[in-house]
Amino acid sequence: MDKFVVVGGKRLYGSVDISGAKNAALAIIPATLLAAGKCRIDNIPDIRDVRLMFNILRNLGAEIKMLNPNSFEIDTSAIRSQVVPDAMAKKMRASYYFIGALLGRSGNAEVAMPGGCNFGVRPIDQHIKGFEALGAHVRTENAVIKASSAELLGGSIYFDVVSVGATMNVMLAAVRAKGLTIIENAAKEPHIVDLANFLNLMGADVRGAGTDTIKIRGVETMHGCDYSIIPDQIEAGTYMVAAAAAGGDVAIRNVIPKHLESISAKLVECGATVEEFADSVRVAADGRLTKCNVKTMPHPGFPTDMQPQFAALLAICEGTSIVSESIWDNRFRYVEQLLRMGASIQVEGKAAIIEGVPYLKGAPVRADDLRAGAAMIIAGLAARGATEIEDIHLIERGYENILGKLTALGADIRRVEMPDEESAKEDKKAI
Ligand code: EPU
């Protein structure tokens, strides 16, 4: 099984360019099903989840042409199926966007229950509630979600929980529903706004994305367009925290600093220097930083997808920090790995109490999921000695060329290749 080996103690210097946003791309790619015509999409991150998404789209009958590793032309005019098979759907969470996109396109969708990172129960009841409010009939048979509607009609939806996935999925269907749809208690993440901008460029009428009320007036046809995906807030945040944990001075380029404010504020609270420019931020740190408390919240709060990485930093800060997770039930599995490295952390329900230790020690650890894996890298960069990280295919689901980007900043990180690995075979099949 492939591993990363990180030898800690190297400070990070230089600049890193941030890729397009994974969680925007994963909704925008299926959204191309709504267009009659070709879409050219730039700034698509070259990551495993995107390759899986392309495989699903191809399997439905789409033509996908690579213009360069981050730009693709997608033509969905010859779609011949509305079925996303189990083997494809269960590889990733975002396969659920095919329900909304296929419903919007043709009034029919059959998508096996989605997979994805494991951090507790991940229901999709709010997605179903939204589709039903648009008049769709939704049932689950043998773990396959079957949604159909002779004619989608605009409706009012009040989400019981703020859900990124449900907000985007219902947007995908509602842009083609007849009349006005009002989504209340909508998620406000930057990728919601990005999806709305993409849909509007294709001819949709979506207003209010980025606030908690989104109004969508259905249109009869939508057309192809050229679009560039926003930079990845979480990838940027991960490099910011890596610079703070390892020490050094790093420019994180091609970002929207506004999207990083909750992360910047916490780094400053810990004693790091964060400077904002028009489309970059600079993070510098020298010596041991100090504790702070973090509570994850929907945007614009501190993102849950930065929680493990920030906890890795707090593990070596001076003082006792409390990290509270309010989005997911079980997102502290990585703590066990940090303990192996000498961290002092106690998990009590949905909070982790972190008593900062002066240093971590390299150890064999595993990536429990995508962001947990990023946390292991950060811990490894700051630790004394070598950290071997297993299950790195989970990290590569969401970080483009993380090895190359960190190496360019001066990190000592290498991949130990095991060519027979199952995930490597899958990657070769993709695209
Ligand atoms: N929820 C429900 N019912 C639903 C949907 C969600 O109860 O129908 C609950 C969830 O159980 C959770 C909360 O609502 O407690 C928020 O879930 P949300 O739907 O917002 O999460 P998601 O759409 O499944 C996306 C990202 C995650 C990220 C969350 C929260 C994608 C593909 N995934 O998941 O990203 O953690 O939003 O911001 O966009 C990652 O990138 O590492 C990642 C896990």
Q: What is the pLDDT along the chain (431 residues), one digit of tens a residue?
A: 799 999 999 999 999 999 999 999 999 999 999 998 999 999 999 999 999 999 999 999 999 999 999 999 999 999 999 999 888 888 888 999 999 999 999 999 999 887 665 666 678 999 999 999 999 999 998 889 999 999 999 999 999 999 999 999 999 999 999 999 999 999 999 999 999 999 999 999 999 999 999 999 999 999 999 999 999 999 999 999 999 999 999 999 999 999 999 999 999 999 999 999 999 999 999 999 999 999 999 999 999 999 999 999 999 999 999 999 999 988 999 999 999 999 999 999 999 999 999 999 999 999 999 999 999 999 999 999 999 999 999 999 999 999 999 999 999 999 998 776 555 555 444 33
Q: Give domain limits for the chain.
A: 3-19+231-421, 22-228
Of 24, 34, 82, 20, give the one whose Cα is nearest residue 56: 82
Query: Distance (Å, rounded) from C-alpha 356 to C-alpha 271?
Result: 14
Residue 428 CB-half CA count within 13 A: 6
Query: Distance (Å, rounded) from C-alpha 406 to C-alpha 14?
Result: 10
Cα 413 to averaged position of ligand 1 atoms, centre (Å):
31
- For 285, the token pair is 């740190």
Domain 22-228: give its CATH code. Answer: 3.65.10.10
Determine the atom of ligand 1 nearest the C-alpha atom of 370.
Answer: 42
Q: Is 269 helix (H, G, I), strand (E, B) or coil?
A: helix
Query: Distance (Å, rounded) from C-alpha 397 to C-alpha 280?
Result: 24
Fold of the CATH domain 3-19+231-421: UDP-n-acetylglucosamine1-carboxyvinyl-transferase; Chain (3.65.10)
Size of the chain, expressed as the number of residues it contains: 431
Of 117, 122, 54, give the one whose Cα is nearest residue 374: 117
Pocket of ligand 1 (CB under 6 A): 23, 26, 93-94, 117, 122-127, 161, 163-166, 187, 304-305, 327-328, 370-371, 398
Cα 281 to averaged position of ligand 1 atoms, centre (Å):
27
Q: Whose CA is nearest to atom 10 of ligand 1?
A: 122
Cα 163 to averaged position of ligand 1 atoms, centre (Å):
6
Under a CB-based contact definition with an 8 Å cutoff, are residues 2 and 416 in contact? yes
Of 162, 59, 57, 160, give the one whose Cα is nearest residue 101: 57
Mark whether 39 is an active-site residue. no
Number of helices and strands in the chain (H, E): 14, 24
pLDDT, residue 119, reads: 60
Query: Distance (Å, rounded) from C-alpha 104 to C-alpha 238?
Result: 35
Determine the atom of ligand 1 nearest the C-alpha atom of 93.
Answer: 32
Q: For residue 360, which phi and psi values (nearest 5 degrees)?
A: -100, 160
Q: Amino acid identity of 358? A: P
Determine the atom of ligand 1 nearest the C-alpha atom of 49.
Answer: 32
pLDDT, residue 116, reads: 60
The 8-class DSSP code of residue 230 comes to: P
Determine the atom of ligand 1 nearest the C-alpha atom of 128.
Answer: 8
Q: Whose CA is nearest to atom 32 of ligand 1?
A: 94
Q: Is the pTM above the cut of 0.85?
A: yes
Q: Whose CA is nearest to atom 35 of ligand 1?
A: 305
Determine the atom of ligand 1 nearest the C-alpha atom of 327.
Answer: 15
Under a CB-based contact definition with an 8 Å cutoff, are residues 421 and 2 in contact? yes
Contacts of residue 382, defined as CB under 8 A and 6 or more positions apart, other chains included, come to 8, 245, 246, 247, 312, 313, 316, 359, 360
Question: Which position among 39, 117, 270, 317 bears the catalytic label?
Answer: 117
Q: Whose CA is nearest to atom 4 of ligand 1?
A: 124
Cα 96 to averaged position of ligand 1 atoms, centre (Å):
11
Contacts of residue 371, defined as CB under 8 A and 6 or more positions apart, other chains included, come to 117, 234, 305, 306, 307, 308, 309, 398
Q: Whose CA is nearest to atom 24 of ligand 1?
A: 165
Under a CB-based contact definition with an 8 Å cutoff, are residues 399 and 393 in contact? no
Same fold, 3-19+231-421 and 22-228: yes
pLDDT, residue 420, reads: 62
- For 192, the token pair is 């919601």
pLDDT, residue 228, reads: 98
Cα 325 to averaged position of ligand 1 atoms, centre (Å):
13
Q: Is 195 helix (H, G, I), strand (E, B) or coil?
A: helix
Report the Cα–Cα distance between both ends of the chain, in Å, rounded: 22
Q: For residue 148, which phi and psi values (nearest 5 degrees)?
A: -150, 155
CA torsion 374-375-381-382 (nearest 10°) is 160
